[in-house]
C-alpha cells in the first residue's frame, strides 16, 4: 500500500486520466479524493458521480446538461456535472456500468474538451481532470463488445490496482484501531488477541466498507473490550476452507482456466494461508493441512514458494 500511495503522489502531480481498479469496498473513492487533494487542482471543484446509481435515461442530461425545452420536463437550462467540475476533477465511479450508447459522446468530450448539452447547438469548453473506477476487468468488457476500445484506452492512461483487504491482512489491525477511534471517541475500547486473530483471518468479501461497518457495530454495543464472542457469526465461524475459496477469486472468474490450473491455484492459496496462520512455521502449517513436513516442502517447491516468500513478518526465516 505504501508503494501504491507513493505512485498516487506522483500521478497526482500530472494531469493524466487515472483508472482505479478494485473490488467493491476497497476504497476507490478515497483514492480518487486523494488524487484530487494532492493535485494542482486541489482548490477547484471535485465532482463525484456514481454511474450505477443514475438511471440510464437521465445520465446524458446529468453529465452534460440540457437546454430549456430539450425534452418535456426541461423547463429550464441545466449545467451538467462536467460543467460543474470545470477546472477541477470529476470522478466517474463504476465506469463499467456506463451505457454503450453514451460512450461515444463521453469519448468526444474527453478528446475535444468540449461538450454539447442535450438540445444544445453551441459547444461548451471544459477543462476537467478525469478519474474513473471499475470493479471488473474493462479489457474483458472490450473483448465482449460491451465497452468501446477507444474509450478504454483513453481512460486507461494511468491504471492503479487497489488490492482487496484479504491480500493485505497486516492492514486490518490498524484499520480496526482507526475506526474504533472514529466510532468510540469518548471511550477506550480494546480488542482481545483472539478477536484480532479472527478479524485478520476473515476474508472480508465486502473489503474496507464491511470492516468499517463491523467495527462501528461493535463499538456501539461494547462495554470497553471486544472479544471473540462480540464478533459477528460469519467472522467467528469462518471456516479456513471457505476463506480460501473466497480469497481465490481468480479460480472462479477466469473462464479459460483448466481444471488442473484451478486445482493448482487453490492448492497454492491453501499453502499460503496455512503459512500465514502458522507465522511461517512449516511444521505447524503441515499439521494444519494434514500433510507430512516433506510433502509440504515438496509442494512449496512445486509452487515456487521458496524461503523468500515464506518468511515470518519479522523478517526471520520460517522455522522447520
The yes-or-no verdict on residue 307 having pLDDT over 70 is: no
What's the pLDDT at 70? 66
Kindly report, as residue ranges, where domains of CATH 1.10.8.60 are found in the chain: 165-238
CA angle 82–86–90, rounded 5-degree value: 50
> Would you state the pLDDT for residue 33?
95
- Of the chain, the percentage scoring pLDDT greater than 90 comes to 49
pLDDT of 69 reads: 65
The pLDDT tens digits of the residues spanning 224-254 come to 899 998 999 888 875 555 555 555 655 655 5
Indicate where the chain has its CATH 1.10.10.60 domain(s). Answer: 241-309
For every residue of 27-80, which 3-state class applies, written as one string? Answer: CHHHHHHHHHHCCCCCCCCEEEEEHHHCCHHHHHHHHHCECCCCCCCCCCCECC
- CB 111 within 8 Å of CB 154: yes
Q: In this model, does residue 302 exceed pLDDT 70?
A: yes
pLDDT > 70? residue 159 = yes
Q: Each residue of 202-219: pLDDT tens digit?
A: 888 889 999 999 999 999
Among 25-39, 103-117, 306-320, the minimum mean pLDDT is found in 306-320
Please state the pTM of the whole predicted model. Answer: 0.71
Average per-residue pLDDT for the chain: 85
| pLDDT value at residue 179 | 94
CATH number of 2-161: 3.40.50.300
241-309 domain in CATH 1.10.340.30?
A: no
Residue 62 has pLDDT above 50, yes or no: yes
Which of these, 227, 235, 221, 168, lies nearest to 193 by C-alpha position?
Answer: 227
Q: Which fold has domain 165-238?
A: Helicase, Ruva Protein; domain 3 (1.10.8)
Where in the chain are all domains bearing CATH 3.40.50.300? 2-161
Task: Provide mean pLDDT across the span 24-40.
Answer: 93
Q: What confidence score (pLDDT) does residue 94 get? A: 94
Identify the pLDDT of residue 152: 97
- Per the listing, cell 468530450 goes with 109
The C-alpha atoms of residue 110 and residue 129 are separated, in whole angstroms, by 9
Amino acid at each position: 500500500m505504501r508503494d501504491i500511495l507513493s505512485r498516487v503522489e506522483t500521478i497526482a502531480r500530472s494531469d493524466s486520466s487515472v483508472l482505479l481498479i478494485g473490488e467493491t469496498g476497497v476504497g476507490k473513492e478515497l483514492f480518487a479524493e486523494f488524487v484530487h487533494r494532492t493535485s494542482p487542482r486541489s482548490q477547484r471543484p471535485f465532482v463525484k458521480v456514481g454511474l450505477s446509481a443514475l438511471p440510464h435515461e437521465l445520465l446524458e442530461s446529468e453529465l452534460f446538461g440540457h437546454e430549456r425545452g430539450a425534452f418535456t420536463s426541461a423547463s429550464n437550462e441545466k449545467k451538467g456535472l462536467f460543467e460543474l467540475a470545470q477546472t477541477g476533477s470529476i470522478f466517474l465511479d463504476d465506469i463499467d456500468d456506463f451505457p454503450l450508447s453514451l460512450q461515444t459522446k463521453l469519448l468526444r468530450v474527453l478528446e475535444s474538451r468540449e461538450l454539447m448539452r442535450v438540445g444544445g447547438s453551441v459547444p461548451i469548453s471544459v477543462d476537467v481532470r478525469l478519474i474513473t473506477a471499475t470493479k471488473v476487468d474493462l479489457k474483458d468488457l472490450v473483448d465482449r463488445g460491451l465497452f468501446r476500445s477507444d474509450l478504454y484506452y483513453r481512460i486507461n492512461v494511468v491504471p492503479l490496482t487497489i488490492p482487496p483487504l484479504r491480500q493485505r491482512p497486516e492492514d486490518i489491525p490498524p484499520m480496526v484501531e482507526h475506526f474504533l477511534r472514529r466510532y468510540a471517541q469518548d471511550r477506550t475500547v480494546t480488542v482481545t488477541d483472539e478477536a484480532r486473530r479472527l478479524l485478520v483471518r476473515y476474508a472480508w468479501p465486502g473489503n474496507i466498507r464491511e470492516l468499517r461497518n463491523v467495527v462501528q457495530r461493535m463499538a456501539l454495543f461494547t462495554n470497553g473490550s471486544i472479544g471473540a464472542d462480540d464478533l459477528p457469526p460469519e467472522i467467528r465461524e469462518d471456516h479456513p476452507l471457505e476463506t480460501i475459496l473466497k480469497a481465490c477469486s481468480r479460480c472462479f472468474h477466469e473462464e479459460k482456466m483448466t481444471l488442473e490450473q484451478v486445482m493448482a491455484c487453490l492448492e497454492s492459496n491453501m499453502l499460503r494461508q496455512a503459512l500465514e496462520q502458522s507465522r511461517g512455521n512449516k511444521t505447524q502449517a503441515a499439521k494444519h493441512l494434514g500433510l507430512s513436513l516433506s510433502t509440504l516442502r515438496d509442494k512449496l517447491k512445486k509452487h515456487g514458494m521458496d524461503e523468500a516468500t515464506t518468511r515470518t513478518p519479522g523478517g526471520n526465516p520460517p522455522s522447520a
